[in-house]
Amino acid sequence: MTGEIQVLISQEELSQRIKELGEKISADYAGKEVHLICVLKGGVMFMSDLSKYISVPVTMDFMAVSSYGNETSSSGIVKIVKDLDESIESEDVIIVEDIIDSGRTLSYLLQILKDRKPESIKICTLLDKPDRRIVDVEVDYVGFEIPDYYVLGFGLDFEQKYRNLPYIGKLVGIE
Ligand SMILES: O=P(O)(O)OC[C@H]1O[C@H](OP(=O)(O)OP(=O)(O)O)[C@H](O)[C@@H]1O
Ligand code: HPA
Ligand SMILES: [Mg+2]
């Protein structure tokens, strides 16, 4: 990589906001249980941190869909790489994503998962890049709205690397 990484959202800002989201979810689901679905691989760090701040009983499952491969823009073709292990019928589901960009991944996922008859289904994303939206998706919980930068870290990759950075960085000098 010839570009440079600048910090866009610090570790402290992430922790603070994720705590707020967890508390909001706990209040919204009071008296219920929540079934978190992590969209791999990008959603992994966010879901693990978010779940620590949810005080109602939590179950978890994991799904992998891919539309980007090693590209920095979506191909438009979404495929299931790994399906859920368990049924979501009658569950109160929250899909946990790292970022909504074109909206293609989530609109495809929503369509598939709604057919499986959950009791309810909501979306929680750490980052939202509304300027890039191609497919409209209704998002219930958003950590941060960001401008149209290619971002990485905290689960998000550039050519599969940098997912382990504890902050969200912005890639400068790369298309
Ligand atoms: O709104 P969209 O334009 O569909 O983009 C968002 C999706 O793209 C990225 O995943 P990717 O398919 O690159 O896989 P990864 O999570 O394994 O990095 C990101 O993690 C979201 O899941
Ligand atoms: O800005 C991004 N960074 C990393 N992965 C992504 N997937 C969609 N948008 C992005
Ligand atoms: Mg992803």
Mean pLDDT by 10 residues, the chain (175 residues): 87 98 98 98 97 98 80 69 97 98 93 96 98 96 96 96 97 75
Structure tokens at 1: 């990589």
Give the pLDDT of residue 8. Answer: 98
Of 78, 35, 82, 79, whose CA–CA distance to 63 is shortest? Answer: 82
Give the pLDDT of residue 54. Answer: 98
Structure tokens at 95: 């899909």
Residue 156 covered by a domain: no
The ligand 2 atom at the shortest distance from the C-alpha of residue 158 is: 4
Of 71, 75, 80, 140, whose CA–CA distance to 109 is shortest? Answer: 80
Residue 1 covered by a domain: no
CATH of the domain at 33: 3.40.50.2020
Cα angle 109, 133, 29 (rounded to 5 degrees) comes to 50
State the residue range of the domain holding 108: 11-147
- Catalytic entry in 98, 101, 148, 157: 101
Note residues around ion ligand 3 (Cβ under 5 angstroms).
42
Give the pLDDT of residue 173. Answer: 80
Encode pLDDT of 36-67 as tens digits: 999 999 999 999 999 999 999 999 999 998 77
Please classify residue 53 by burial: count the beta carbons closer than 10 Å to its beta carbon, then call 0-12 exposed, 13-18 middle and 19+ buried: middle
Residue 137 covered by a domain: yes
Residue 166 covered by a domain: no
Give the pLDDT of residue 70. Answer: 56
How much is the pTM? Answer: 0.94
Give the pLDDT of residue 155. Answer: 98
* CB atoms closer than 10 angstroms to residue 103: 20
Residues with CB under 6 A from ligand 1: 39-42, 66-68, 74, 97-105, 157
Residue 110 covered by a domain: yes
Please give the tally of structural domains in the chain.
1
Listed in sequence order, the residues at least 6 apart from 2 whose beta carbon sits closer than 8 Å to its beta carbon are 173, 174
Give the pLDDT of residue 76. Answer: 65
- For a ligand 1 pocket test, name from 77, 79, 105 the mutation site with the most ligand atoms within 8 angstroms of its C-beta: 105
